[in-house]
Amino acid sequence: MPISPTLFIGLGEFGTTLSTFNHESFNHKFPDLSKLHASLNFNGDLSFASAKEQMIDVGSIPVLKENSVKENFEILNKEISEFRRAIDDGIEYVFEAERLTDIIVADVEVSEKKKVIIYFSLGDTISSVSIQKTIELINGSKRIKSLELFLICINYDLLDEDGIRAFACLSELDFYLSTVSSVHSFTLLANTVQMILAIKKKM
């Protein structure tokens, strides 16, 4: 089976933790393939790690967990060019053919399709504001035809986050994702019982 070079993206406090953990775990399990993958995290600071390297700061956008959704939305829109640059640089990393030469020579089949896995939570005022923007920027990339997006989302009930914001974010995403074809899967991790009760209460 071909190996897909992958960009791990973490948004917000928990998203960055989960993204970093999975990227590092993959590198530990498959050290010979570490050059194929990279990690980009956004939780105010923008940080990037390639292969087995340590995370380095590549930018900063002054959003804060304590801010309102509206405040963070306005700040992110104002600084969107820096966010776009970080995402574009991360995508370009997984496309760099020169870096893949030694892997290809070693008879590892590298897929023409590259993956972007985005980790985020619904009730966090940073990740819930930045998730749609992240997908929009990726869809605006010149590489979009060769990218497959996978979303892994943590619901508020597992993290003690804002339930109202979580439902609003999920509704916004549901509508937006119906308009794009690049997202191949959307995984929602939640306390199933609480989720069903909350939905019934909302109805």
Sequence-distant contacts of 179-186: CB under 8 A, at least 24 apart: 180/135, 180/139, 182/135, 182/138, 182/139, 182/144, 182/147, 182/148, 182/149, 183/135, 183/149, 183/150, 183/151, 184/148, 184/149, 184/150, 185/150, 185/151, 186/151, 186/153
201 band by pLDDT with thresholds 50, 70 and 90: very low
Q: Are 19 and 8 in contact (CB under 8 A)?
A: yes
The backbone torsions φ and ψ at residue 159, rounded to the nearest 5 degrees and listed phi first, read: -125, 0
The tens digit of pLDDT for each residue in 180-195 reads 989 999 998 887 544 4
Sequence-distant contacts of 165-173: CB under 8 A, at least 24 apart: 165/69, 165/122, 165/123, 165/125, 165/128, 166/121, 166/122, 166/123, 166/128, 167/122, 167/198, 167/202, 168/128, 169/122, 169/123, 169/128, 169/131, 170/122, 172/132, 173/131, 173/132
| Model pTM score | 0.89
The tens digit of pLDDT for each residue in 70-112 reads 999 999 999 999 999 999 999 999 998 556 666 665 677 788 8
The tens digit of pLDDT for each residue in 129-182 reads 999 999 999 999 999 999 999 999 988 777 778 888 888 998 999 899 999 989
Sheet holding 6-11, edge to edge: 56-60, 45-50, 37-43, 6-11, 114-121, 147-154, 183-189
| 140/194 Cα distance (integer angstroms) | 36
203 band by pLDDT with thresholds 50, 70 and 90: very low
Domains parsed from the chain with CATH numbers: 6-202 (3.40.50.1440)
| 83/77 Cα distance (integer angstroms) | 9
